[in-house]
Amino acid sequence: MQRGAGAARRAVSRAAAARLKNPDVATEVQQGVATSDFIPDQGANNSQWLRNFSAMSWTSSVTLQNINPRVLKTEYAVRGEIVTRAQLLQQELITKPGSHPFDEIVYCNIGNPQSLGQPPITFFREVVALCDHPALLDKSETHALFSSDAISRAYRIVDNIPGRATGAYSHSQGIKVCRDDIAAGITARDGYPANPEDIFITDGASPGVHMMMQLLLGSEKDGILCPIPQYPLYSASIAMHGGTLVPYYLNESAGWGLELSDLKQQLQSARAAGTNVRALVVINPGNPTGQVLSEENQQGIVQFCKEEGLVLLADEVYQENVYAEGKKFHSFKKVARSMGVQDNELILISFQSVSKGYYGECGRRGGYMEVTGLNKDVKEQLYKIASVNLCSNISGQILMSLVMNPPKDGEESYEQFMEEKEAILSSLARRAQVLTDAMNKLEGVTCNKAEGAMYVFPRLHLPERAMKAAGAVGMLADVFYARRLLDSTGIVMVPGSGFGQVPGTWHVRCTILPAEEKLPGVIDRLTTFHSRFMEEFRN
Ligand SMILES: Cc1ncc(COP(=O)(O)O)c(C=O)c1O
């Protein structure tokens, strides 16, 4: 408990002052492990004392035992212990060159394309730059440097922002002109109308997901059906908001297919156990699993949610990342409307982001959710949640509107835009194939095709002795493998246990994002590591 300075001073003893001068105790104080009986009397150096006192009282009043237990329960593997270790090794490569058997860390843990060299789309950056410095719009030199459609787009956006200021708060759902463009983009994509009033622009898709969990989860009796394996945003957000994750399992042997029979069974048993299942999460294309759902499968899911009164949370952030021949992305909104399922029959929340696709603008934090089927009163409550954060960042809002309303045929940027987009997407498709093939060549590894998204998620059939060795050091087998891989090669992958997996199966997730020219080197390192690992632990 925090104590007043007066009371603390009265409690001080000379013995404690002497202890504080002891260097061991002083270190304890700095580390926040000392207790308040080390506080010196008023004769001691006051400012030093105050610093020490605040360090002591601050750390002693907040401990792992008394913080929100939901935070302790929350895990987020894509930035977990393997990544923390990778950052440490990266530091050591600088401070102690040659201290590891590799000279760089290759971050294959997270779908962060620009960090691995993917260039941004020129048109998007031109518009954002001009909006951020609108004085440029009136300069003649600007016409030599920027394309005419970027200039006219920036004028249109800036002229529709109150005060023409990108440094001002916006409406809590986002700038109207950006929502108009997003709605127009959805309408063009789906062939069914979208309403700008249904759009909530967010700082990436993640805050939208958190907002929905906040809205839906009142206690641990409230459950959300989530795919296993899943992107850990969902398990983390459910844990953070005090709800219950109800798993349904994607079928690895059927290309990570989503089976309605399993969904129904999981829903029934959760209900029988007293859980009030509120929503179903579907990630399409899948992360970490990379499958692209067929339209028929999606129709079944829409019907299921409608019949069971479940909110459909459709994570569609990889909608532009489809590589497999014959596969196509269909938004759940389009599928529902094409079945004649309307607003009053299904609550559908669709998430999109500027972080993925061919744009990969993760750090810009732009996203939106399209909210359909919520009644007016509840939508007002959602608006209240959004307004507690005031608004999402303005550059992210602008970028999101550009992603949904890119240059059109006939505009000056169009050709360059299409070239840049195609180059990125075709390279991602090649990399998805190369990595899948490389994984399948490894002994004891099977890997489904990455039909979409940005990852391969191979299954590791590890020797018994490797699992025993992992157990002996208190690690899960996939963590043990990923840790060994990192220490030997500098390649960072995320253990499958961070996403959930059928008990007794082990996986790792690897992004397909290393630059194409680096990929052969990464695969060589992985292959050499893997065969040594298998040799070392052969039964
Ligand atoms: C399936 C999925 N949903 C949501 C997100 C969150 O993305 P952001 O918050 O950057 O939009 C990610 C990020 O990797 C993801 O893979």
Q: Which residue has the tokens 């212990």?
A: 81
Count of Cβ atoms closer than 10 Å to residue 468 Cβ:
12
Round to whole Å and give the CA distance between 111 and 511: 6
Percent of the chain with pLDDT over 90: 80
Round to whole Å and give the CA distance between 243 and 241: 6
Q: Could you report the per-residue pLDDT of 317-356, keeping only the tens digit for each?
A: 999 999 999 999 999 999 999 999 999 999 999 999 999 9
Round to whole Å and give the CA distance between 332 and 211: 20
* Beta carbon of 158 within 6 Å of any ligand 1 atom: no
Count of Cβ atoms closer than 10 Å to residue 124 Cβ:
24
Q: How far is the CA of 112 from the centre of ligand 1 (A)?
A: 10
* Beta carbon of 317 within 6 Å of any ligand 1 atom: yes
Q: Which residue has the tokens 């493998």?
A: 481
Round to whole Å and give the CA distance between 211 and 216: 9
Closest ligand 1 atom, CA of 111? 14
- 122-153+410-419 maps to CATH 1.10.3720.10: no
Domain ranges in the chain are 5-61, 74-104+420-536, 122-153+410-419, 169-404
State the angle between helix axes of 477-489 and 81-95 in degrees (0 to 180), rounded to the nearest 10. Answer: 20
- φ/ψ of residue 146, rounded to 5: -120, 150
Q: Which CATH number fits domain 74-104+420-536: 3.40.50.720, 1.10.3720.10, 3.90.1150.10, 3.40.50.1400?
A: 3.90.1150.10
* Beta carbon of 287 within 6 Å of any ligand 1 atom: yes
Each of the 539 residues of the chain gets a pLDDT tens digit; together they read 333 333 433 333 333 333 333 333 333 333 333 333 333 333 344 555 555 555 555 567 888 888 888 888 887 766 678 999 999 999 999 999 999 999 999 999 988 999 888 999 999 999 999 999 999 999 999 999 999 999 999 999 999 998 888 888 999 999 999 999 999 999 999 999 999 999 999 999 999 999 999 999 999 999 999 999 999 999 999 999 999 999 999 999 999 999 999 999 999 999 999 999 999 999 999 999 999 999 999 999 999 999 999 999 999 999 999 999 999 999 999 999 999 999 999 999 999 999 999 999 999 999 999 999 999 999 999 999 999 999 999 999 999 999 999 999 999 999 999 999 999 999 999 999 999 999 999 999 999 999 999 999 999 999 999 999 999 999 999 999 999 999 999 999 999 999 999 999 999 999 999 899 999 999 999 999 999 999 999 97
CATH code of the domain occupying 169-404? 3.40.640.10
Do 310 and 280 meet the contact criterion of CB atoms below 8 Å apart? yes
Do 385 and 215 meet the contact criterion of CB atoms below 8 Å apart? yes
Closest ligand 1 atom, CA of 353? 11
DSSP conformation letters of 122-140: HHHHHHHHHHHSGGGGG-T
Nearest to 212, CA basis, from 220, 202, 221: 202
Query: 176 Cβ partners below 8 Å, 6+ apart?
Result: 160, 196
User: Virtual CA dihedral for 104, 105, 106, 109, nearest 10 degrees?
Assistant: 180
Round to whole Å and give the CA distance between 228 and 461: 19
- Token code pair at residue 79: 């930035």
User: Could you tell which of 356, 397, 399 is best to mutate to test the pocket of ligand 1, judged by most ligand atoms within 8 Å of the CB?
Assistant: 356
* Beta carbon of 362 within 6 Å of any ligand 1 atom: yes
Closest ligand 1 atom, CA of 204? 11
| pLDDT of 79 | 65
